[in-house]
Structure 1
Amino acid sequence: MPYSRPSPTTALNGASGAVASRPSPTTALDGASRPLRPLRILIAGDTYPPDVNGAGYFTHRLAEGLAERGHRVHVVCPSEEGEPYVRRNGRVMEHRLRSARMPLQDGMRAAVPLGAGGHIARLVRRLDPDVVHAQSHFTLSRSAIRAGRAAGIPVVLTNHFMPDNLYAHARIPEAMRAVVGDLAWRDMVRVAGEADHLTTPTPRAAALLREKGFAGEIESISCGIDLERFHPRSDRSAARGRFGLPDRDTIVFVGRLDEDKRIDDTIRALALVSREHDAQLALAGLGRDEEALRVLAAELGVADRVFFLGFVPDAELPLFYAAGDVFAIAAVAELQSIATLEAMATGLPVVVADAMALPHLVEEGRNGFLFPPGDPVRMADRLLTVLSAGRARSALGGTARELALRHDHHRSLERFEEVYRGLRPSALPPTRPERIAVA
């Protein structure tokens, strides 16, 4: 059956959260008090739920959030069934293109290139959207960017890409990764140059694009989190019981159990922590490294302290965070890390690798601590600092919540609306086709 589910809010585990209904803005950008008409928005994504990854979930949350605010939102993305179809999913119209399974990617599908470009071009002409918002530089999104440009429609591109996230999935040998990464970045920068407005989730992600050669303007807009859904709770023991966890201090992680998340470092850190403190690790997520991680936990003598919970249902993810005392992530290729933000919003201190965008989420000693990437000894030391903090642990969690408030997803939606309305159709072609009403 075609996919239908609540709007997701987690980067990798599949968390979902209701988007609070808000009316569309009623004040024009020039300050005039006249109603603004709803926008017609076409969002293009090479990945979309039920795919389990951050880019797909952000795309779905963006589409649902904009539709909740009164806009007419269409999404073009791969079919999760293989065969193409069109259907309304909640308030969003989904245009699912013919797809095929991606090599070496468990459960993921990609749009079949043959005929996709022409189909998207026809869709753009038929819908005549006010803006095309692409979520990657890959095949489907690239076709949408070019179709928008050809039709004189403003194009926004949000970059979620880092080659590091693909190396393990594509099984690229270590010796070839630098060359492959360089080629991938060049391709991304070239496609980004075709967009009218480029956004990234964080300032660090924007800086990375500049380092890779993009010379245009880049705006940082947080992916945002649902602060009403993720909030501090007092039922920690009950939450642990819900997931079958012993009632002891708990380190939590939400995400794919894959190489780029470096969960092996977290397990190694737990083995060191457990020599001095009665602690355990709970992992929410699926991935190809699960069996290897189970073996590692057994080799280190902490198999009874590492709990592989698999996919945690969307409705229960806030409760999973509530079962924890500290959130830990050792990944080095995070452009934002929604899971870290959700944990902070829940009131958890965080211990994160000092890499990519993660340091932007930490005020050292106020809401958590950083550790050098790939150093489980220092990671263990930081975890012990939090777990042994006593009453000070609550202060760390309180500050974490305060810092998470900066990432309210309503603010992100409002900013994207402003971006869309601020763009103007390009000069070519000189006239746009008559708008055709589409449900």
Structure 2
Amino acid sequence: MKLLTFSTLFPNVQRPNHGIFVETRLRYLLASQQVTSRVVAPVPWFPFSHPRFGLYSTYAKVPAKEVRHGIDVCHPRYPVIPKVGMAPAPALLAAAMKSTLARIIDEGYDFDVIDAHYFYPDGVAAVMLGRYFNKPVVITARGTDINLVPQYKLPRRMIRWAASHAAGMITVCNALKDEMVGLGIDGARITPLRNGVNLELFQPGDRAALRTALGMRDFTLMSVGHLEPRKGHELPVQALTEMPDVHLWIAGTGPDRAKLEELARSIGVQDRVRFLGPLPQSELQRYYGAADALVLASSREGWANVLLESMACGTPVIASNVWGTPEVVAAPEAGVLMPERTPAGVVAALRQLRAAYPSHEATRRYAERFSWDDTTQGQIELFQKVAGQGRA
């Protein structure tokens, strides 16, 4: 069975952690040897690569093609209209991709199913392309595409349209399925398949040796994710004023770094906050394995992979009680859900965790329940069903 994986959320040589959860799921699916896939991972068109243009400069440097972990990936360009780009985005994306998909078919890769990730604009554009090329489409909903984007009238209408024409839909947690049903989408056509964790990469190491090597001495929290408002990094920073023996190490990059640094200075905790910048997963494994806990204070999450990555390294978590997160943090050995999404909520959760801190071995055993096997099999069954219907 031949898939065409389609998503703007996919890593590239310039942004190796961008959408890595899409790549990871695909790698496990391909390892089953029951499917093949070519990846179309569009990037916005931009003519200049000068640093003054920030992220758009990075887009300009992304290669047209690359091979990642043995997977052929192409990065065709599509137009983005600043400020007003949300409404026309699916149509612009679909129109720009027609020649790419036609060329792939002409080259002999006549795919059976379009495997699209993120409902808007990617999933909507994928359905437009599927109708044009007469190919069935499966869309995976991942988080803000369902719990944020539909608050806008036109995108909400287009998401419903895409859902009605998709051959199948996947959500990464039950909470997203419930939200889609609330939007008027048929729940019988939605298959929840939660993300797994790479148990080979993320595993406990020599905790004492890791702490020595990294210079981690006191009780240390890790906060991992893009430095932007939705991730809530400011909450654990503010919580440090009530936790004088705790340090916070933040991994990630994004527009809020200067704001977070200024916040730490303004409340006098700058000596206990360390900004690590972006870290590859191989490095994150070391930091997870050394830290005492991971804190994730997001306002929205579909299925937060960082939680399972930390647990797989034997490190429990503190997390906001939002969307799919309670499905991940569902036992004391996993960690603690914050009673409220505030600095005080972080403090309360950490005190609860420290009062009954689980063994690192128990936390690892909990994470081992989340292998990729069931998710991979669920995808195979859905894609086979969809491909069979398309041939009927």
Classify the TM-score, shorter chain.
0.7 to 0.9
> Cα distance, 1:315 vs. partner?
1.9
CA distance in 2, matches of 1:113, 1:84: 18
Q: Is the 8 A contact 2:203 2:314 kept in 1?
A: yes
Structure 2 residue 219 is matched with structure 1 residue 219: no
Residue type at the aligned position of 1:197: G
Report SS of the residue matched to 1:309.
Answer: strand
Q: Is the 8 A contact 1:232 1:322 kept in 2?
A: yes
CA distance in 2, matches of 1:164, 1:151: 26
Structure 1 residues 8-407: aligned runs within 5 Å = 39-50=1-12, 56-70=19-33, 71-79=35-43, 80-81=59-60, 85-99=64-78, 103=82, 113=93, 115-123=95-103, 125-126=105-106, 127-162=109-144, 180=152, 182-216=153-187, 217-235=189-207, 237-245=208-216, 247-274=217-244, 278-363=245-330, 365-387=332-354, 389=355, 392-395=356-359, 397-407=360-370
Provide the residue aligned with 1:17 in structure 2.
none
The aligned length equals: 366
CA distance in 2, matches of 1:414, 1:426: 18
Q: Is the 8 A contact 1:186 1:212 kept in 2?
A: no
Provide the residue aligned with 1:414 in structure 2.
377
* Cα offsets for 1:345-385 (capped at 9, x unmatched): 11112111111111122235443222234322132022123
CA distance in 1, matches of 2:125, 2:286: 40
Q: Is the 8 A contact 1:83 1:98 kept in 2?
A: no
> Cα distance, 1:427 vs. partner?
6.1
* Cα distance, 1:187–1:244 mapped onto 2, change above 3 Å: farther
> Cα distance, 1:264 vs. partner?
1.0
> Cα distance, 1:233 vs. partner?
2.6
* Cα distance, 1:77–1:357 mapped onto 2, change above 3 Å: same
Q: Is the 8 A contact 1:116 1:140 kept in 2?
A: no
* Cα distance, 1:261–1:119 mapped onto 2, change above 3 Å: same
Q: Is the 8 A contact 1:254 1:284 kept in 2?
A: yes
> Cα distance, 1:136 vs. partner?
2.3
* Cα distance, 1:342–1:259 mapped onto 2, change above 3 Å: same
Residue type at the aligned position of 1:411: D
Report SS of the residue matched to 2:357.
Answer: helix
> Cα distance, 1:82 vs. partner?
6.3
* Cα distance, 1:139–1:384 mapped onto 2, change above 3 Å: closer
- Unpaired runs of 5+ residues, structure 1, are 1-38, 105-109, 168-177, 431-439
Residue type at the aligned position of 1:212: L
CA distance in 1, matches of 2:228, 2:294: 18
Provide the residue aligned with 2:52 in structure 1.
none
* Cα distance, 1:423–1:55 mapped onto 2, change above 3 Å: farther
Report SS of the residue matched to 1:219.
Answer: strand
CA distance in 2, matches of 1:114, 1:413: 28
- Name the TM-score, length of structure 1 as normaliser: 0.75
Q: Is the 8 A contact 1:120 1:147 kept in 2?
A: no
* Cα distance, 1:187–1:373 mapped onto 2, change above 3 Å: farther
Q: Is the 8 A contact 2:172 2:302 kept in 1?
A: yes
TM-align CA RMSD = 3.0
Q: Is the 8 A contact 2:39 2:71 kept in 1?
A: yes
More helix by share: 2
* Cα offsets for 1:8-60 (capped at 9, x unmatched): xxxxxxxxxxxxxxxxxxxxxxxxxxxxxxx2111000221137698721222
Percent identical residues:
26
Residue type at the aligned position of 1:248: D
- Name the TM-score, length of structure 2 as normaliser: 0.83
> Cα distance, 1:326 vs. partner?
1.0
CA distance in 2, matches of 1:268, 1:349: 21
